[in-house]
Amino acid sequence: MNDFVDRYVFTALRRIPEQQRADIDRELRASIEDAVEARMDAGQSREAAVESALTELGDPDRLADRYAGRPGYLIGPDLFPLWRRFLKMLLWTVLPIVLGIGIAVQLFEDPDIGKIIGRSISALLTVGGQICFWVTLVFAILERTGVGRADLRTTWSPKDLPKYEQNRDRLVELATGLVWVALLIAGLVLQQFTFSDVPLLDPANWAFWWPVIIALFLLRGFYYIWVYRLGTRTRTVAAVNAVLVTTYTVPLVWLLATDRFFNPEFHGFLDLHGGGTRTWLNTLIIAILVIGGLWDVFDTARKAEQARKGQPAKVPGTGGSYDFTR
């Protein structure tokens, strides 16, 4: 043999338990010699035969892992789907809670918009990194030790297939819409009486605009119930939706544009940077209201046309469509 073979064998053996090295040394050298002789019989020189034989065997570290029975991955294919689902569930539930608590605490301690953004990003990176690290560590330990693995259901059956039911999607839309209506009305009322001595929103609007906005939000709630009971979207639904969106978006945009939305007596984060925060926030909310309203009107009209033409409904998360009426 030559120096290449010795170096290859030594590199592989260093990652193999000592009690196995002697047997694997003999087996590996014999395997390499057979491969080299076969190539020499085919007309290659010895140096070329050795190099091609070692190239075919591949990375000696990976070869050593195969001999030692060690997995060449952190989390294997059996546990990977479970790891991914568990990690996504934690990230989507824990991070919003951490972000909300952090913003609320910062608003009371030091309502500086720069500090709020900076600490929010820091909290998301820190908590998100900790979640990813510890979940991955636990699953890596399960992968290598097998401790507790029997208690995890890693096998799949057709019973695990998700149900794509149109009624379920409509129920989710109904619940989401009613929850948002309730939160908006509760926030509008509670900010006047509970959160601070000076309300955030202009109390002068209670003479007309805030009761009107609350009434429009209530109509939006009845709209969600009506669409759910109707079971489909029609052109009438699209028209009613467009009217509702317009009736509460226009006055809100007008209040923001004329600086009558926020309470001028509120001297919190709105007065930072010489009052520039108020202007910046007004512009941002106007953009959200206009873009969100236009999208809502367009999306409802599109779905109404699809229902009228009998086109299959989109299945969320699949990129495809399915005819739920079959």
Stretch 23-49: mean pLDDT: 85
d(CA 293, CA 291): 5
Residue 219, token pair as written in the block: 């109509």
Residue pLDDT, tens place only, 184-236: 898 888 888 776 678 888 899 999 999 999 999 999 999 999 998 888 888 99
User: Across all residues in the chain, what is the average pLDDT?
Assistant: 80
pLDDT of 38 over the 80 cut? yes
| 287: helix, strand or coil | helix
CA distances to 122, 268, 294 from 277, in Å: 22, 10, 26
So what's the pLDDT on residue 249? 94
- Categorize the per-residue pLDDT at 156 as very low, low, confident or very high, splitting at 50, 70 and 90: low
Domain residue spans of the chain: 3-68, 80-152, 164-322
> Percent of the chain beyond pLDDT 90?
21
Give this prediction's pTM.
0.51
User: Among 65-79, 138-152, 216-230, which range has the highest average pLDDT?
Assistant: 216-230
So what's the pLDDT on residue 26? 85
| 201: helix, strand or coil | strand
So what's the pLDDT on residue 108? 67
Stretch 127-144: mean pLDDT: 87
In the block, residue with structure tokens 């109404």: 304
DSSP 139-181: HHHHHHH-TTGGGS-----GGGSPP--HHHHHHHHHHHHHHHH
| 282: helix, strand or coil | helix
d(CA 65, CA 59): 10
Residue pLDDT, tens place only, 78-125: 778 888 888 888 888 888 888 888 777 766 666 666 677 777 888 888
| 314: helix, strand or coil | strand
Contacts for 108-115 with beta carbons within 8 Å, 24 or more apart?
111/268, 111/269, 111/272, 112/269, 112/272, 113/269, 113/272, 113/273, 113/277
d(CA 219, CA 248): 10
So what's the pLDDT on residue 244? 95
So what's the pLDDT on residue 1? 46
So what's the pLDDT on residue 325? 42
Residue pLDDT, tens place only, 234-266: 899 999 999 999 999 999 999 999 989 988 887
